[in-house]
Structure 1
Amino acid sequence: MTMPNARPDAAPQGSHQWILTLELPGRAAATEYGTWNPDPGATRHDVFVAIRQHVTNRFPELERATVAFFALEPNQL
């Protein structure tokens, strides 16, 4: 079944959608999001650590930041 607003040229998405906000209070914050395909047998913690590393690789200044928000949900309606 094709969705009415689906783009035929859209890139494939991961099995899970994530959102992560990291904050250095009063100094910096970043909210990133995307999709992820966890490795077979991966735990939620494994995915959290991998995603946090992914974000801090992009924003090294947030390596010591506090996690203000994290969500990981199946990417299917």
Structure 2
Amino acid sequence: MTTTTNATVPAQQPTAVPHHFLLTLQTGDGRIFTNDGVVQVIPGIHTRMDTLKTVREQVLAQYGVRGQAIVLFFALEPNQL
């Protein structure tokens, strides 16, 4: 008699990867803000657009900007050499 065991392997949790960003915004009244930093991105879950929106909201809040601002420049790269 043969016994078969069905072992359940737990799914791996997605791992966040630190990415460095550089973002320049211009407000409707002409002010320009540039900021950089590191943001945690989960590949396969977060998209580039999701990350841009998150970073943009954080930068606008940091500078106390309310209303619209256009993106003049956005760079996003894995934070590694």
Relative to the length of structure 1, the TM-score reads 0.71
1:27 corresponds to which residue? 30
Query: What are the superposed Cα offsets for residues 25-71 of structure 1, whole Å, 9 maximum, x if unpaired?
Result: 77310000000111451111111110001001112336411100000
1:9-20 equivalence runs, <5 A? 15-20=18-23
* Matching residue within 60, 75, 78 for 1:74: 78
Specify the SS of the correspondent of 1:76: coil
Specify the SS of the correspondent of 1:15: strand
Number of aligned residue pairs: give it: 64
Higher helix fraction (1 or 2): 1
Query: Is 2:57 the counterpart of 1:49?
Result: no
CA-atom RMSD in angstroms: 2.0
Unaligned 5+ runs, structure 2 = 1-16
2:64 corresponds to which residue? 60
What amino acid does structure 1 have at the position aligned with 2:37? G
Q: Which has the larger radius of gyration?
A: 2
Unaligned 5+ runs, structure 1 = 1-13
Specify the SS of the correspondent of 1:53: helix
Identity fraction in percent: 36
